[in-house]
Amino acid sequence: MKNVLIASTSTVHGEKHLEYLLPELTLLFQKCKTILFIPYARPGGISHNDYTKIAAQTFAKINLNVKGIHEFKDPTAAIEGAEGIFTGGGNTFLLVSQLYSNQIMSKLSEVVKKGTPYLGTSAGSNICGLSMQTTNDMPIVYPPSFQTLGLIPFNINPHYLDTEKQSTHMGETRETRINEFHAFNTIPVLGLREGSWLEVKNNKITLKGNLTARLFRKGEHPTELESDSNLTDLK
């Protein structure tokens, strides 16, 4: 029943918001007139209203309306009645905290697993995995749990960056951070590069876009997955 698009980013370099995904979104939301937008991640501290306006301007290009979940008195009812749902990027800790405080984490998972079309970008992609523990974000708030939607049986690291051999940066690389995660966890992690996304149709998970993705498993060397790879059995 699942009909999900999990994108590394909302905006690739040199393009406008969601521009590279508009053909895919036209298909994903083809039976919808209005999209429920979840702006809780608030990139850069932007207000819920301003963030929703950005989403509305983008979806107007494919003749879809947008309404922010913060505009509803009852967020659970908003989730239940949504024709399609988009969770935008920003800070994953804040997003997860808000989903739990509004008591809609489990409800969001439930409706998407039953077939409500869902788009997640960045933080909105992080929550599609089993946990949010492979986010790149600072812990600006403390969510009650790291457990997320569980729409796919592994974790995502969006905005994945490859190690630059010529870099003078002395901090940890993304690969190092993921290895730190695997020192205490066994969940596979998929590093999604900018411009890549996962297409989830029922239980089939397919890597899309022009780039490879980097797969990390505990105790194994990372591997590169080609576009159109089938990740359905990745656990």
pLDDT of residue 170: 56
**CA angle 105-106-108, nearest 5°?**
65
Average pLDDT over residues 17-44: 97
Average pLDDT over residues 224-232: 98
pLDDT of residue 180: 97
Helices (H), the chain: 22-28, 48-59, 75-81, 92-101, 105-113, 123-126, 174-182
SS3 36: strand
Of 183, 120, 178, 186, give the one whose Cα is nearest residue 154: 186
Judged against a pLDDT cut of 60, whether residue 193 lies above it is answered with yes
CA distance 167 to 174: 14
Confidence of residue 163 (pLDDT cuts 50, 70, 90): confident
What residues form DSSP beta bridges with 36? 67, 85
pLDDT in tens, 122-159: 999 999 999 999 999 999 999 999 999 999 999 999 99
pLDDT of residue 171: 62
Average pLDDT over residues 90-117: 98
Q: For residue 57, what are its two tokens?
A: 């301007």
The continuous run of DSSP H or E covering 162 comes out as none
Q: For residue 8, what are its two tokens?
A: 């590394």
User: Between 172 and 137, where is the model more confident?
Assistant: 137
Overall residue count recorded for the chain in this entry: 235
pLDDT of residue 114: 97
First to last CA, the chain: 20
CB neighbours (10 Å) of residue 38?
A: 31
What's the half-sphere exposure (Cβ side, CA atoms, 13 Å) at 227? Answer: 8
pLDDT in tens, 42-78: 999 999 999 999 999 999 999 999 999 999 999 999 9
Average pLDDT over residues 82-94: 98
Average pLDDT over residues 160-184: 84
pLDDT of residue 235: 87
Number of H helices, E strands in the chain: 7, 11
The pTM (predicted TM-score) of the whole model is 0.96
The CATH class that applies to domain 3-153+193-211 reads alpha beta
Domain ranges, ordered by start, for the chain: 3-153+193-211
The catalytic residues are 122, 137, 159
Confidence of residue 162 (pLDDT cuts 50, 70, 90): confident
CA distance 230 to 201: 11
DSSP state of 192: P
pLDDT of residue 167: 65
CB 192 within 8 A of CB 160: yes
